[in-house]
Amino acid sequence: MKIYKEIQRTCKSTYLDKTFCDICKLEIKNNDSRTMDDIIIESELGNDYGEYGGDKEVLSFDLCRKCWNDKLVPWFKDQGANPQSENVNW
């Protein structure tokens, strides 16, 4: 026979509280649940060793909409890059 005893456990968890633009340092606020301002530039560089695992370095930047539109997009265009744009509806 197994007898179970109920115990209460507490644990800490981490959640995203705030995001700041890595250029202008202002907080990126989503004023309501319908706003989507997630601009992340990220690279993942590494090695895949198959069944032995792998490793990678992830480098990322968080950007506000203003810095993205006013600084990064023009800079990319000045470098000769042509952005690909896609509208997504759901």
State phi, psi for 88 to the nearest 5 degrees: -120, 125
Q: Are the CB atoms for 34 and 45 separated by under 8 Å?
A: no
Residue type at 45?
Answer: L
CB-based contacts of 73: which residues, under 8 Å, 6+ apart?
A: 83
**Model confidence pLDDT, tens digit, residues 3-58:** 778 888 888 888 878 889 999 999 988 766 666 677 888 899 999 999 999 999 99
Q: Quote the tokens at residue 75.
A: 């800079």
Residue found by looking up tokens 């907080």 in the block: 27
pTM across the whole model: 0.67
